[in-house]
Each structure stands twice: as structure tokens, then as C-alpha cells.
Amino acid sequence: MTRLKKCTSRLYLGFIFLFLYAPILVLIVLSFNNSMSRTVWGGFTLQWYANLPTNDTIMTALGTTLRITLSSSILATILGTSAAIGIHRMKKRHAAIMLGATNIPLLNADIVTGISLMLLFTRFTSLGEFSVILAHIAFSVPYVIFNVLPRLQSMSDVCYEAALDLGATPVYAFYKVIWPEIVPGVLSGFLMALTMSLDDFTITYFTKGAGVNTLSTMLYTELRKGIQPELYALSTLLFLVAFAMLFIINYKGNDSKKEVTN
């Protein structure tokens, strides 16, 4: 009976993974397809990978995407981590107000967030790469806060206060006592901010202004012309990089866990 249960659950997991990864398999196959058409298999080729570095539209969009994603997720992590520490130390009522406001970008529809930010930006600055970065920070900060805050709440304040009593400066006490405890939360918050920013289309679409294109918005505007096959090659590479990173983080994470338990 348990064997059967184990089998069905493995089978079900397999089915879900197939569902989630089927389109990715299709895209990887297309990146080796020697045909401009998406529906015809024209034999194996590496030419899209070879053409990639010289394809200016794609490389420019990739550069924009990476700049926006990295800067917004780093800034969101800094802003969100300090916010989480501050909120943790606030009076209950104030903290509740801050958390309520933090929920807004998560609860709001992307399209509403995008449009409302666009209305604000067109009034006070201009739309461009900078406005997209601001918008991405706006929707990714909540992920950082909600990853860091539980870490703070689950540790006791006693150690930090003891450090202060023993003469540590607040900065030193923070670095030695609080930081090691929250660092996994900061890291997962950063990773989520990075992923959300990379995956976003809607908010970028509304806040980008003319001339600025991330990979997603470039794709969307060029949809009628047909997709450049180099894009399949690029996203296959990006996916492999992410997969490799995941592997490395996974093994590192295991090592640090061992240290803690020993």
C-alpha cells in the first residue's frame, strides 16, 4: 500500500514537472532548429548561438534587462532589509500600518501598479530606464521584507541586548549577532526580487517609455514580425546559467547547514 502511494506521488510530481518544463524543452529544441519557422524542424544547427553576439537588438535588450534586474534587486534588498529591521523595532501599531502598505504591491494587479507608477513618473520625471528601475524596486521590496522579517521575529532580542551591555557598538552588535541570523532571509529575498524583476513584463511595459526595451518588451513589440531565433539560444543559455547557479547554491547551502548542526 505505501509502495503504491509512493509510486503514485512520484508519478504525480513527474507529471507536474513535465507540465512546467515542457515549454522550456520546446524552446531549447527550437534554439537548435535550422529554420526561421517555429513549426518546422529544419535540422540541427548552432548558427543561432553563433549569431547571438552580433545581434545588436538582442544584446542591447539583454544589457538593459541585466542592468534593470541587478540594480533594482540590489537596491530593493538594501531598502527592504533595513526596512524589515526598522519595522521589527517599531511599536506594534506602526508596524501594522507599514506591513499593510507593504502588502499593497503584492495585492494590486500588476497592470494597476504599472499604470499608477507610469502616471506618477510622467508627471514628475520622464519614462526611461531609471523609471523602470524605480518601478521594479517598488514591486520587489515586499518580497525582501517578507523574507527577512520572519527571521528577525524568530530570533530573540536578548543576544543583541547582551552584546550592547557588554560594550559592543550597535553596528558591531548588529554585524555579529543579527546579521548572521537574517542572512538566509536576505539572500532568499534577493533571489526572489531578482526572479520577479527578470520575469516581469507588465510593469516594465507601462513604465519604460519609448526606446528602452528589456527582452520581454522587445519580444512583445516584435511579435508580429516573428521571433528572432537567436532569442531561443539566449534564453536557453540564461536558463542553463540559472540552473548551474541553483546547483552551486544548493551545495553551498548544504555545507553551511552542516556547519551549524555540528
**Residue in 52, 58, 68, 87 binding other proteins, rule: CB under 8 A:** 87
* Angstrom distance (rounded) from CA 109 to CA 117: 12
Q: How far is the CB of 217 from other proteins (least distance, A)?
A: 9
Cα 11–Cα 16–Cα 17 angle in degrees, nearest 5 = 95
| Residue carrying C-alpha cell 519614462 | 127
Whole-Å CA distances, 99 to 106, 107, 110, 141, 187: 11, 12, 19, 12, 20
- Contact, 50 vs 111, CB < 8 A? no
- Contact, 216 vs 133, CB < 8 A? no
Is residue 219 a contact point for other proteins (CB under 8 A)?
yes
What are the backbone dihedrals phi and psi of residue 157, each rounded to the nearest 5 degrees, phi first? Answer: -80, -10
The residue count for binding other proteins (CB under 8 A) is 89
Is residue 17 a contact point for other proteins (CB under 8 A)?
yes
Nearer residue to other proteins within complex by CB, 94 or 176 = 94
Q: How far is the CB of 256 from other proteins (least distance, A)?
A: 12
Is residue 202 a contact point for other proteins (CB under 8 A)?
yes
Is residue 163 a contact point for other proteins (CB under 8 A)?
no
Nearer residue to other proteins within complex by CB, 143 or 190 = 143
Q: Under rule CB under 8 A, which residues in 117-156 are in contact with other proteins? A: 117, 119-120, 123, 134-135, 137-138, 141-143, 145-147, 149-150
And the C-alpha cell for 70?
541587478
**Residue in 85, 168, 183, 187 binding other proteins, rule: CB under 8 A:** 85
Is residue 211 a contact point for other proteins (CB under 8 A)?
no
Q: Which stretch binds other proteins (CB under 8 A): 43-51, 52-60, 91-99?
A: 91-99
Is residue 201 a contact point for other proteins (CB under 8 A)?
yes
Environment class of 117 (CB within 10 Å of its CB; exposed 0-12, middle 13-18, buried 19+)? buried
All residues at 6 or more sequence positions from 185 whose CB lies less than 8 Å from its CB, including other chains = 147, 148, 149, 150, 151, 152
One character per residue 166-195, x = contact with other proteins (rule: CB under 8 A): ----x------------------------x
Q: Under rule CB under 8 A, which residues in 47-76 are in contact with other proteins? A: none
Chain-centre distance for alpha carbon 251: 20
